[in-house]
Amino acid sequence: MTDQGLTGKGKSPIVRLAGKYGLISAVSLILGLGIIYYAGKHPLLINIVFDLRILIFALFIFIGIREYRQDYNNGILHFWQGLYIGIILYITAAFITSLFIWIFAGWLDVDFLTSFIAKSMETLETNKQVIIESLGERNFNAAMEGLPTTTAGNLAFDYFLKSMPIGFILTLVISMLLRRRV
């Protein structure tokens, strides 16, 4: 019996798979953030090229889409199905991980937030001349003044927002690579 993903009783295989792998992605991201943080680096200040989200999202979006195509849809995958799986997956993972960051930075380890602020201010001071040349002195001063008022919610929201383009681009690419037409 072929299920196109949005019909049938209960949750569709698309939602079930995306939710399952979104949850696994979130746990993987949380573990990775914890390992990086307790290894002495601040995980939210790592260069985007080395961001864990790229690897984790790519891996689980690929696995989720491939599993749907092979196990639930007889080897056929429409582009929209891949998009649907990927979008649900990375939004789920980003939301859960952001929620964790908010709780962790706000209540469990407040040093997470204070070290983020201190290291960010240090980075701004170190690169002051370059930042002023590219963004202007007004923007530099605004950043320096705004950093001390950063909250755990700001970190979580920023993490969530920055996850969206990463997840969407990976979803587009993987959906195109794995699609199969009838």
CB 160 within 8 A of CB 98: yes
What is the number of structural domains in the chain? 1
Place of tokens 């383009």: 165
In this predicted structure, what is the pLDDT of residue 10?
61
46 three-class SS:
coil
In a domain, residue 5? The reply is no
In a domain, residue 4? The reply is no
Rounded Cα distance between 173 and 13, Å, is: 21
CB 87 within 8 A of CB 168: yes
In a domain, residue 86? The reply is yes
Q: What is the mean pLDDT of each run of 10 residues along the chain (182 residues)?
A: 50 92 98 96 93 97 96 91 97 98 96 96 91 89 93 97 98 92 52
- What domain range includes position 157? 13-178
In a domain, residue 149? The reply is yes
Q: Which of 116, 114, 109 is nearest to 158 (CA)?
A: 116
